Amino acid sequence: MKEEAATFQSLFHQYYPQLHSYVSGIVGAGDAEDIVEDVFEELWSRREGIEIGDKIGGFLYRSALSHSLNHLRHKGVTDRHVQMVRQINEVGLRLVDGGNTAQDHLEREELRATLMKAINELPDKCREVFKLSYLHGMKSKDIGDVLGISTRTVDAHIYTALKALRKRLQGIDWLFLIIFFNFCLSSFF
Amino acid sequence: MLDEKIILKFLRGECNEQELQAIKSHIDQSDEAAEELFKLRQTYRMLEAERMSDAEVNAAYNRLNERLSQKVQARKAEIRHIKMRRIASVAASIVAVVAIGVVLLWHRGNSNMLVAQAPDDSVIQVSLIDGTKVWLHNGAKLRYPKSFNNSVRKVELQGEGYFEVAKDRIHPFLVQGNSIKVKVLGTKFAFKATGKSSQVNLLEGSVEVQELARHGMVMLSPGQTASIDSITGTLRVSERQHAELSAIWHDDLIPFSNATVAEIARTLQYIYHEKIYVADDVDTATTYTGSVKRKGTVEDVLEALTNTLPITYKKTTNHIVLSNK
């Protein structure tokens, strides 16, 4: 029982932040907290039937999607809208969401350092915009006002930064796989 | 190729239907295109997750724990509730039979109704044919029959009233307010029924208070108060201190029964909002039974009491001290 609670707590700490972002990306920022708590409530109530292994991420993301869609339905969003959100995110679940990421392999501090390093390596203007957006949470329009550039240019910089960071982080994923593979080989022989 | 603005909106969950359609067309092109977009969203998610503070995560974890423990408690309460419901359903069917009877009687006796209403600033007394006395004040309105022909003596009250009901075991006396009714055999009680809430204070005897909407029902003992919230239908019983004073407006008499000097001091303190201390030399065994006229100031009342009790009083700037004569 105690062990069960400890596992639950560590899963919560690992997945709450990313699920919060995932759900915000589906229902918008305001209602994510409650929905993610619903997801973990479901995990807790079904803990006996679920194996906590590699697939737990898949379970949590699927549960988060279905809770989010329910929320949208209750909120009175049109059926067509909900269907579209569902279809899009089903593709996401199939290809990417809920799978392992660099986040799962690295310690929090390590990941943070990697991210900061990657951000600092961005081209000047792009870095400046991205820091304002990401580190200071500023809206694109406000960043544009501060730097004297159009909102459109701001968005373009943010997009470029995200793409660059994605490449870096995916590199970590690959690197991790290679290390893992080597480890398997060495322990095999 | 997708517009960057739409992609950013997609990451933030801000797309409208048209923009979602654009996203969908884009990912439907090929799995490669789709994977690229979802990986970008994954990166965005990672950045956002990194930005979330430990305090935020801990707070969410505590909220969840709170929720889970409430659920466990709710389950326990539900089990209790099911047991209670069985008892309540039997009680409700009895109440329903009584209620139908009351409605039939009410329609039969409707022709000879009278209405009494107190002016806003004074008290009136109404004597009913059975000997029951009712005091009304502050615009309270009483509807009552010229004669009680039915097995139930029924009246209706709006506002605040005080009742001294004549004893008649065969014909219960029924007072109905907005949201509750009170059934009595012979007793003294105050009944206040306003739009928002109703309150019954029992002074003597016993009464049965019934909330009309949900058929909640309680029996009161002297000194108890039943309060009903008309909107939620919640029925609550409380032991109120100085409940006996809830109707002194009707005769301006402060009732005491076997009251020690300390108890008298507490009562007067409650009515006049003045601090009253009792000195050590006052005999604790001395008691007083009877009513004292409520007067303009507390000193006037104490002056009257010094005639029958072996006490004297002294007033200072902040309080009054009662001591042995």
A111 touches B: beta carbon within 8 Å: yes
Give the pLDDT mean for A38-54.
82
pLDDT at B101: 45
Question: Is residue A165 scored above 70 in pLDDT?
Answer: yes
The complex's ipTM works out to 0.86
Predicted TM-score (pTM) of this structure? 0.51
Distance from CA of A188 to the nearest CA of B (A): 33
What is the per-residue pLDDT across A81-106, written as a single tens digit (0 to 9) for each? 999 999 999 999 988 888 776 566 66
Phi, psi of A163 (to 5 degrees): -65, -40
Complete DSSP assignment for B126-163: EE-TTS-EEEEEEEEEEEEESS--SSSEEEEEEEEEEE
A58 touches B: beta carbon within 8 Å: no
pLDDT at B100: 52
Residues 3-42 of A with CB under 8 A from B: 9, 12-13, 16-18, 20-22, 24-29, 33, 36-37, 40-41
What is the per-residue pLDDT across B304-319, written as a single tens digit (0 to 9) for each? 888 888 888 888 777 8
B309 vs B46: CA distance, rounded Å: 83
CB B224 within 8 A of CB B202: yes
Q: Which of B5, B13, B47 sits opposite A25 (nearest CB)?
A: B13
With b for 16 or more beta-carbon neighbours within 10 A and e for fewer, the A10-24 pattern comes to ebbebbbbbbbbbbb
Distance from CA of B199 to the nearest CA of A (A): 40
B58 vs B142: CA distance, rounded Å: 60
Give the pLDDT mean for B181-210.
79
pLDDT at B95: 62
Between chains, do A12 and B42 touch, taking CB under 8 Å as contact?
no
What is the per-residue pLDDT across B215-272, written as a single tens digit (0 to 9) for each? 677 788 777 888 877 667 777 787 767 777 777 878 888 888 888 888 888 888 888 8
pLDDT at A160: 92
Nearest to A21 by CA among B10, B101, B173, B129: B10
pLDDT at A65: 95
* SS3 of chain B: helix, strand, coil, percent, to 5: 40, 35, 25
Q: Between vectors from CA B138 to CA B201 and to CA B196, what angle results, nearest 5°? A: 60
What is the per-residue pLDDT across B48-60, written as a single tens digit (0 to 9) for each? 888 888 888 999 9
A157 confidence band (pLDDT: 50, 70, 90): very high
Between chains, do B57 and A81 touch, taking CB under 8 Å as contact?
no
Distance from CA of B71 to the nearest CA of A (A): 10
Between chains, do B60 and A33 touch, taking CB under 8 Å as contact?
yes
| Paired tokens of A179 | 């290390």
Between chains, do B24 and A156 touch, taking CB under 8 Å as contact?
no
Distance from CA of B268 to the nearest CA of A (A): 54
pLDDT at B104: 47
